[in-house]
Amino acid sequence: MFGWEFPPYKTGGLGTACYGLTKGLARNGVHVTFVMPVAPEGAAAEFVKLIGANQLAKKLKLIEVPAMLAPYGTAEGYAADYAPLNAKGLYGKNIYTEAKRFAKIAKAIAHKEKHDVIHVHDWMTYEAGIAARNVSGKPLVAHIHATEHDRTGGKPNPHIAHWEYRGLKAADIVIANSEFTKRNVLLQYKIPEEKIRVVHWGIEEDHPHYKLDYQSILNKKRKIVLFLGRVTLQKGPDYFVEVAKKVLRFEPNTLFIVAGDGDMLPKVIHRAHELRISDKVIFTGFLQGADVHKAFQMADLYVMPSVSEPFGLVALESLKNNTPTIISKQSGVSEVLHHCLKVDFWDVDRMTDMIVNMLKHTELHEELRENGYHEVQKFNLDEPARKVRDIYNEVIR
């Protein structure tokens, strides 16, 4: 399996998803060798063999890149992100070069590591998958967690879109993480529908962090509404601040927390200032580990206003932490979750209506919290892993 990140080395949902999938597969008797560009210290798990491409191919001078910033930034973001690295001569030209190097190393790994199926996650690893298949001839499963179209709000980088297409086209089976993603794949690339399988994500059933029961001084006498995710176009943080302004008209004693980092952060901070609500909006920067769970637990309500959310595991994490959610209809998770409020990301008034009523009426809040918490218990790591295992069995035959 070729991936780009693995906990604790992650900045977004892909790392969490790969962790959950490999763990679930291990429970279902599948041995996984997970290859990523860099296996940093601390990245380890008893259920999976982790390989950092850097350990194998020192000659290629692979460096530790801020991986997630790269594949999930905006097109303009790449140049800025990599300019300093380029200047120091540490790094190749750009993220494409990086992915290509990964593909070269993949050949060596495919030669060395015994395997029955090659499973790759998102476009950065697709070239590696194709290269590995050229060596071993084993079936290729391309997992798509987000299309380039999703990431860029409909302004795809043509290079990346091309790579994405190549990978999807070459694959024997494509796994989409939602009907939403499947529709996008069908819409943007001429991939035969019968080749695509939908596997919705699950979530770890239990985790010590779920039960931290964290309360902050900020909770006192105030209701907290949370945004948590990359502060980038795809996630709709700009809608979140517009909604905050409107909610404050009705519920002035509310605090809005924007948890996350990203290219739009300066813009969002500036907008909060323009709207004169800077004192009501807190920016936490990037959160990880227990802090993520603490943020959910101190919040009364989690809002996911994503413009395009291929799945949206965060909504499940929120419910696991007993925090009710309002989620964008433009998300994969809205296909499988019922006990939450669903709204079009652009419908600021409707979102305001929902938030105000949630804050105002404890009965609504309690019903959503209790039923949402109950519902999220049916999600686990086994079911998606079983479906993936069945797909492996299908392609091996």
Partner 1 sequence: MTNVCLYFQVHQPFRMRKYNVFDIGHNSAYFDDKKNREVMQKVAKKCYLPANRVLRNLIARHDDFKVAFSITGTAFEQFEKFAPAVLDSFEELASTGAVEFLNETYHHSLSFLHHKEEFLEQVRMHQRLIKDRFKQKPIVFRNTELVYNNELAKVAEELGYKVVLAEGADHILRGKSPNYVYTPKTTKRMRLLLKNYKLSDDIAFRFSNKNWPGYPVTAKKYADWIAPILGDTTNLFMDYETFGEHQWEDTGIFDFLENLPRELKRKGISFHWPSELAKVEPKDELDVHHPISWADIERDVSAWLGNRMQNAAAERLYALRKDVLASKDADLIDAWRKLSTSDHFYYMCTKWFNDGDVHKYFNPYDSPYEAFIAYMNILNDIILRVKGDERTGVGAALKRWMSTS
Q: Which is nearer to partner 1, 53 or 351 (CB)?
A: 351
**Shortest separation between residue 108's beta carbon and partner 1, angstroms:** 51
Nearer to partner 1, 106 or 354 (CB): 354
- In whole angstroms, how close is the CB of 155 to partner 1 at the nearest point? 30
Residue 282 has φ and ψ, to the nearest 5°, of -110, 135
CB of residue 366 vs partner 1: minimum separation in angstroms?
Answer: 6
Residues 211 to 230 in contact with partner 1, rule: CB under 8 A: none
How large is the angle between the packed helices 13-27 and 313-320, nearest 10 degrees?
A: 70
Nearer to partner 1, 349 or 394 (CB): 349
- Is 276 buried (19+), middle (13-18) or exposed (0-12) by CB count in 10 A? exposed
For residue 318, give every residue at least 6 positions away whose Cβ sits within 8 Å of its Cβ, in sequence order, or none: 226, 228, 296, 299, 302, 324, 325
Nearest in space to 120 (alpha carbons), one of 110, 134, 130, 112: 130
Nearest one of 13, 24, 11 to 1, comparing CA atoms: 24
Binding residues for partner 1 restricted to 128-157, rule: CB under 8 A:
none
For residue 303, the tally of other CB atoms under 10 A from its CB is: 29
Cβ contacts of 2 within 8 Å, gap of 6 or more: 35, 36, 102, 106, 118, 119, 120, 121, 125, 128, 129, 132
Binding mask 11-40 for partner 1 (x = CB under 8 A): ------------------------------
Query: In whole angstroms, how close is the CB of 176 to partner 1 at the nearest point?
Result: 24
Q: Which residues contact 49 (CB under 8 A, 6 or more apart)?
A: 31, 32, 33, 34
Site string for partner 1, 288-327 (x = CB under 8 A): ----------------------------------------
Tell me which residues in 322-381 interact with partner 1 (CB under 8 A): 338-339, 341-342, 349-350, 352-354, 356-357, 360-364, 366-368, 371
Q: Contact at 8 Å (CB) between 98 and 54?
A: no
State the minimum distance, in angstroms, from the CB of residue 235 to partner 1: 23
Nearest approach, Cβ of residue 243 and partner 1 (Å): 12
Length of the chain: 397
Q: Which is nearer to partner 1, 210 or 250 (CB)?
A: 250
Give me the least distance between CB of 355 and partner 1, in Å please: 9
Nearer to partner 1, 115 or 342 (CB): 342
Tokens of 242: 């517009």
Q: Which is nearer to partner 1, 152 or 334 (CB)?
A: 334
Least CB distance to partner 1 at residue 121 (A): 33
Rounded to a whole number of angstroms, the minimum distance from the CB of residue 223 to partner 1 is 11
Indicate the residue among 215 and 362 with the shorter CB distance to partner 1. 362
Residues 250-279, mask of contacts with partner 1 (x by CB under 8 A): xx----------------------------
Binding to partner 1 (CB under 8 A) within 64-83 occurs at none
Confirm if 35 and 106 have CB atoms less than 8 A apart. yes
Closer by beta carbon to partner 1, 174 or else 326: 326
Residues that bind partner 1 (CB under 8 A): 250-251, 338-339, 341-342, 349-350, 352-354, 356-357, 360-364, 366-368, 371
